[in-house]
Structure 1
Amino acid sequence: MINKKAVVKAGLLLTAIATQGSVQADDKLQTILTNLQPSLFAPNTVSTNQFEYGSSLSPDGKKFAFVRALARFEHSAIVISHKLGDTWQTPKLLPFSGEFHDTNPYFSKDSNIFYFTSRRPVEGAGTGGFKMWQVSFNGDQFGKPKLVPGKINGGHNVIYPTVHTNKDIYFSSVIEGAKGGMDLFVSKYHPDGYGAPIEITELNTTKSDADPELSTDGKLMFYTSTRAGGLGHYDLHVSVKQKDGKWGEPINLGEKINSRAMDSDPILSADGNTLFFSSDKNPEVKAVKDYQALLQRQKSIHNGLMNIYRVDITELNKYLRSKI
């Protein structure tokens, strides 16, 4: 005869063990997030007292493109810094940028194509929202920008696009019928032109979800969101692709990276172990006693304008991949 009390006791013990394992996993993740140490990227060269955001690192790690903007994102241009030895050099304006409102640079991972978004005029359509453009490059030689073909460019803005290794484009936009304000989408590659945007429903919320960046193998997606549970503004999150092909429950990257300010524009190094992001966090706010001190604070890097940060996420990368 089966001892029902013994079965119940064994069941409770297994539940306790499973719960303990879950708690340990959560504790490990929390420790990893707590140990993250973000720092300003190339201070006084890339990160300055000006308004910088929206970066992209070339696959060889020797070119760093980013955006210099006016306050409130009123106008922006794309600049590039080259690495000489261990030092990043003074940025230069890209030859096709500066006249129009250009933003969101992106180096393709497997070809000599450079992408960006812009409000520059489109033949037959005039100026309008942000469209996605591409330009060929070879070393420091850039060609003439061309509109990315297909339905990715429609009656919507294309914001912070990421071009995956299979050439699919992930981006954010406000498109009627989607779940929230700003939402995440993917436009599938086809040789004749990109397909219509497909909503990434498992990650979108009724809040704003934006700025997707995929790992090279497509298993991890970093993005920013105002979803519930954050620190008060846009927070960086990561999601792991599940066995069924859907994206898993997002993980907030914690208070070492996120702040009450805007934390956005995630970008990965080629090996996936370094995360770059933009933030207008201001960790050095101090009282001032006179006008000169006030001016000095406004001239400092931490003056409330956006800067670009980098953080080693090697341990986080290992942890997330252990869940795949």
Structure 2
Amino acid sequence: MMRHKTVAKIVLLVSAISTQWSVQADDKLAKILNKLEPNLFAPNTVSTSQFEYGSSLSPDGKKFAFVRALARFSHSALVITHKKGGTWQTPTLLPFSGEFHDTNPYFSKDSDTFYFTSRRPVEGEDKGIFKMWQVSYDGNKFGQPQLVPGKINGDHNVIYPTVHVNKDIYFSSVIKGSKGGMDLFMSKYHPEGYQAPIEISELNSTASDADPELSTDGKLLFYTSMRPGGLGHYDLHVSVKQKDGKWGKPINLGDKINSRSMDSDPILSADGNTLFFSSDKNPDVKAVKNYNELLQRQESIHNGLMNIYSVDITELNNYLRNNI
């Protein structure tokens, strides 16, 4: 009987220590999230009074591709800006974009392929579906778009695909049999063509989950979700890969990054320490006194259209890898 009591006490003590560590860890994480300072990325060049979202930074950090769109995502084109002397230059239209509804640009990690999704026509297939395309790229000149081979494309939309270092593709879509509205999927690379999409079931919820981006080492997955407990719309989250190979409980990135508006499209720099994302947050809402002030608000960067932000997440990266 005494032995059972001793064991019970040890279990309670271990549980108490574990709970205390969890509280301390949560407090530490909350402090880190509260210190994050997102800023408009390249204001008046990339982030403007127009509709910008869905970005990708080249591995060398000198090229930045993103989307310019019409309201309600009704049409969009891909543009690119180059960094010269520490300054981002006026964007230009990518040579293969403009005619069709193109979106979701992505530089491959080896810099020789550029990916995007598009509703451009494919003979014999539904014109309303976003499919994933690839373009050869030598750092200066783009080739001609070709469909990404294999089973990643189908009768489902491929939304916001990102390509890991091993060439596996992570994306979001609505595919029959998955959990919620929009869900997260992965398509494994094969030299003869991508394999059929696999649902990332441990992260999907009955709400919409979208826009996955995986860190280079494969340990962190950033995405956006409308799951309960957020701030009211799509919120950015991160999940840490566990020892069993599954993804851990999603962590909301907090109100320094997220807002009551749409916060989406997470993308990492090559070193993983800068997070880019899109948002239509409007922090400067104030009463206007006359028509001219109203026009000035409509023509300002914070006019309710999507913009692109960047934030240093070095401390968050270190904490997540060593403590979660």
TM-score bin (small chain): over 0.9
For 2:244, the equivalent position in structure 1 comes to 244
For 1:71, the equivalent position in structure 2 comes to 71
1:313 and 2:309 are equivalent in the alignment: no
CA distance in 2, matches of 1:166, 1:294: 50
Question: What is the letter of the counterpart of residue 99 of structure 2?
Answer: E
1:103 and 2:103 are equivalent in the alignment: yes
The correspondence of residues 201-220 of structure 1 with structure 2, limited to 5 A, is: 201-220=201-220
Which ranges of structure 2 fall in alignment gaps of 5 or more residues?
A: none
CA distance in 2, matches of 1:202, 1:5: 37
CA distance in 2, matches of 1:287, 1:225: 31
CA distance in 1, matches of 2:248, 2:5: 37
**More displaced, 125-134 or 273-282?**
125-134
Q: Give the secondary-structure state (helix, strand or coil) at the position aligned to 1:190.
A: coil
* RMSD (Å), alpha carbons: 1.4
Which ranges of structure 1 fall in alignment gaps of 5 or more residues?
A: none
1:10 positional shift:
5.1
For 2:260, the equivalent position in structure 1 comes to 260
For 2:139, the equivalent position in structure 1 comes to 139
1:126 positional shift:
6.0
CA distance in 2, matches of 1:198, 1:11: 39
1:85 positional shift:
1.9
For 2:27, the equivalent position in structure 1 comes to 27
Question: What is the letter of the counterpart of residue 310 of structure 1?
Answer: S
Deviations 1:56-82 (A, max 9, x none): 000000000000000000000000000
CA distance 1:143–1:284, change in 2 (3 Å): same
Deviations 1:132-172 (A, max 9, x none): 00000112211100010111110000000011111111100
For 2:36, the equivalent position in structure 1 comes to 36
Q: Give the secondary-structure state (helix, strand or coil) at the position aligned to 1:55.
A: strand
CA distance in 1, matches of 2:9, 2:40: 54
CA distance in 2, matches of 1:242, 1:313: 20
For 2:190, the equivalent position in structure 1 comes to 190
For 1:297, the equivalent position in structure 2 comes to 297
Q: Is the 8 A contact 2:58 2:111 kept in 1?
A: no
1:307 positional shift:
0.1
Deviations 1:65-120 (A, max 9, x none): 00000000000000000001211111000000000000000000024100000000
1:191 positional shift:
0.8
Q: Percent identity?
A: 81
Question: What is the letter of the counterpart of residue 51 of structure 1?
Answer: F
CA distance in 1, matches of 2:16, 2:78: 55
CA distance in 1, matches of 2:212, 2:17: 36
Q: Give the secondary-structure state (helix, strand or coil) at the position aligned to 1:138.
A: coil
Q: Give the secondary-structure state (helix, strand or coil) at the position aligned to 1:61.
A: coil
1:9 positional shift:
5.0
Q: Give the TM-score normalised by the residue count of structure 2.
A: 0.97
CA distance in 1, matches of 2:6, 2:73: 66
For 1:61, the equivalent position in structure 2 comes to 61
CA distance in 1, matches of 2:160, 2:14: 46
CA distance in 1, matches of 2:141, 2:177: 41
CA distance in 1, matches of 2:13, 2:224: 39
CA distance in 2, matches of 1:94, 1:33: 36
CA distance in 2, matches of 1:116, 1:312: 26
Q: Give the secondary-structure state (helix, strand or coil) at the position aligned to 2:137.
A: strand
Question: What is the letter of the counterpart of residue 139 of structure 2?
Answer: G
Q: Give the secondary-structure state (helix, strand or coil) at the position aligned to 1:320.
A: helix
CA distance in 2, matches of 1:16, 1:292: 61
Q: Give the TM-score normalised by the residue count of structure 1.
A: 0.97
Q: Give the secondary-structure state (helix, strand or coil) at the position aligned to 2:53.
A: strand
CA distance in 1, matches of 2:200, 2:6: 47
Q: Give the secondary-structure state (helix, strand or coil) at the position aligned to 1:22.
A: helix
**More displaced, 38-47 or 126-135?**
126-135
Deviations 1:263-301 (A, max 9, x none): 000000001000000000000000001001000000000
For 1:52, the equivalent position in structure 2 comes to 52
Question: What is the letter of the counterpart of residue 187 of structure 2?
Answer: S
CA distance 1:15–1:300, change in 2 (3 Å): same
CA distance in 2, matches of 1:151, 1:75: 26
1:243 positional shift:
1.1
Q: Is the 8 A contact 2:213 2:222 kept in 1?
A: yes
CA distance in 2, matches of 1:150, 1:9: 57
CA distance in 2, matches of 1:10, 1:224: 41
